[in-house]
Structure 1
Amino acid sequence: MELHEQKFEVVSYALNTSKTLRELPFYPANVEYRTPKGHKIAPQDSVRDLGVHGARKMAAWTFSAFKDRSPTVMLTLYKSMVRPKLEYCCPVWNPTKVTEIQKLENVQRSFTNKISGCRELHYWERLKKLKLMSLQRRRERYCIIHVWKILQEEAPNDVGFTFKMHQRHGLKAEIPAVSKSAQLSVRSDYDSTFRVRAAQLFNLLPPELRSLTTLGSFKAGLGRFLEQYPDTPPVPGYTPQNDNSLLSWGRTHTMQLSRA
């Protein structure tokens, strides 16, 4: 694969990361990457990820360039210039760790705190007032839409999704099995993959919604479905009922129905 050496960085993951090993003369040659033209892409200890740095810089520029803090102006700027940096290709890297969710959510939390009439409101209250979804909820929404597009052959099925019609539950995405003997860490990584998590999110939808065949009607129905669930993303200093994933809210709803 030919890569632009000035636009790519290499991060190496290894079981043995001792300082002594990294100082050996032959170590860099084992972890660096050379393009077919001979250009070297050297390994880095850390790289910028998740779009947090870029989004914060753009938010800071927005506050310095525009003095109007009205909701209409600020939300227009946020949606067009800041939020896209946090959501580019998000179905691929959608994080499940609370600390990573908070880092992303803090960008939106900080921005909305500067909008007129919102400073005194808690973040969850600001989301309702401004009619915004949490970034976490939006990422799960994107995952669901992408699975629907794969089903309707509007997006390439690169990860091998399969679907099966069930007599009671309608059309559902098949979830690949994982070995029962796999280590706990492997199973945790498996549960966080797009192939598994996105399928679980898609299967959470009502059968009649999963069976819609036009994007407009599916998005409209998905929007109504999402409104049924609270949107209380993890925030430092507050203890939410769960991790705010639709999967967690879905399990809570199922338990309430079984008790009833």
Structure 2
Amino acid sequence: MALNGEKFELVRYGRNEDLKNSTNYKYNNQLITEKEHVKDLGVFMSDDATFSHHINKIIEAGRNLSGWVLRTFNSRDGQCLKTLWKCLVVPRLEYCCQLWSPYKIQEIANLEAIQRSFTVKIQGVQHLNYWDRLSQLKLYSLQRRRERYIIIYVWKILEGRVPNVGIVPNYHPRKGRLCYIMGTVGSIQRVKTIKHNSFTHNGPRFFNCLPRDLWDQKDTSPECFKRKLDKWLDGLPDHPPIPGYPYSHHNTLPEAVQNQGQLGTCVS
């Protein structure tokens, strides 16, 4: 198979600048261009090992698409706008979010602001603040949706429905099926932060905060697991960080569960 050397791209990771500066890669005697950000299957991979560039692109695309929907459709009916939001905008905001889910408060708030500005156009809820508006419209915050997807993906890994990318099962004789949470020792602080907020660390953290009857959901359909998960999530407050609102640092699921004292709550 003939390959097009002009389409090759190079991204370098790590702190060894001497190695980076002393190595070049070529194809057919043509130097491969070094890039800070490389798009791979729809996700921008950056040479600093963060997803800030990708998240900024997602925010820009979400704002543009949200504005297009509001300009194109005159209706401000709740059911109409919710359908358009879920079908057209949300997929762009959540594609592969298990990988790039943000941990910086500002990035979380900037993503959340897209849904906040869209939902304020819906008739009948304009007078409500964003947190109450989510409750009235029966919508999750985008932060809660991303964490929900991470939990579902971990469950699918444990059930053998998708490839395992580093999740280690850890069955506890008293508590039931859990996941081993990878440590972050032995690294500089920046690397620890990246590891701590990666899927292989956050996935087990989020999954382990579920009640036991959700941990032990085996040999069932994803739809059944999602229904039980949603029933449990409906009992937790959903107050994502938003500029001008009281700072809510307990909205991530482990902190929300600990704050509510609901660890181990049964779901019928």
The verdict on a shared fold, with TM-score over 0.5 as the criterion, is yes
Give the corresponding residue for 1:109. Answer: 116
User: Which of 186, 189, 206 matches 2:191?
Assistant: 186
Give the corresponding residue for 2:206. Answer: 201
Give the corresponding residue for 1:145. Answer: 152
1:57-96 to structure 2, matched below 5 A, reads 57-96=64-103
* SS of aligned partner of 1:196: helix
Give the C-alpha shift of residue 235 in structure 1. Answer: 0.4
Give the C-alpha shift of residue 3 in structure 1. Answer: 8.6
8 Å contact 1:9–1:42 — kept in the other structure?
yes
TM-score, normalised by the number of residues in structure 2: 0.79
How has the CA–CA distance of structure 1 residues 34 and 70 changed in structure 2, closer, same or farther, with 3 Å as cutoff?
Answer: farther
Write the distance in 2 (CA, Å) between the matches of 1:4 and 1:73: 47
Alignment gaps of 5+ in structure 1: 18-25
* SS of aligned partner of 2:171: strand
Write the distance in 1 (CA, Å) between the matches of 2:192 and 2:208: 20
1:172 has 2:164 as partner: no
Write the distance in 2 (CA, Å) between the matches of 1:199 and 1:219: 17
Cα RMSD over matched residues? 3.2
Write the distance in 2 (CA, Å) between the matches of 1:74 and 1:191: 37
Write the distance in 2 (CA, Å) between the matches of 1:173 and 1:154: 16
How has the CA–CA distance of structure 1 residues 184 and 77 changed in structure 2, closer, same or farther, with 3 Å as cutoff?
Answer: same
User: Which of 206, 229, 233 matches 1:222?
Assistant: 229
User: Which of 246, 249, 255 matches 1:248?
Assistant: 255
Give the C-alpha shift of residue 176 in structure 1. Answer: 2.1
Letter in structure 2 aligned against 1:195: T
Write the distance in 1 (CA, Å) between the matches of 2:140 and 2:159: 26
1:43 has 2:35 as partner: yes
8 Å contact 1:232–1:240 — kept in the other structure?
no
Give the C-alpha shift of residue 240 in structure 1. Answer: 3.4
8 Å contact 1:9–1:44 — kept in the other structure?
no
1:80-133 CA-to-partner distances (Å, cap 9, x unmatched) read 111111000000001111011011111111111111122221111110111100
* SS of aligned partner of 2:54: coil
Report the structure, 1 or 2, having the larger strand content: 2
TM-score, normalised by the number of residues in structure 1: 0.81
Give the corresponding residue for 1:236. Answer: 243
8 Å contact 2:150–2:203 — kept in the other structure?
yes
8 Å contact 2:5–2:30 — kept in the other structure?
no
* SS of aligned partner of 2:157: helix
| Matched-pair identity in % | 36
Give the C-alpha shift of residue 245 in structure 1. Answer: 0.3
Give the C-alpha shift of residue 158 in structure 1. Answer: 2.2
Letter in structure 2 aligned against 1:119: Q
How has the CA–CA distance of structure 1 residues 108 and 241 changed in structure 2, closer, same or farther, with 3 Å as cutoff?
Answer: closer
* SS of aligned partner of 1:49: helix
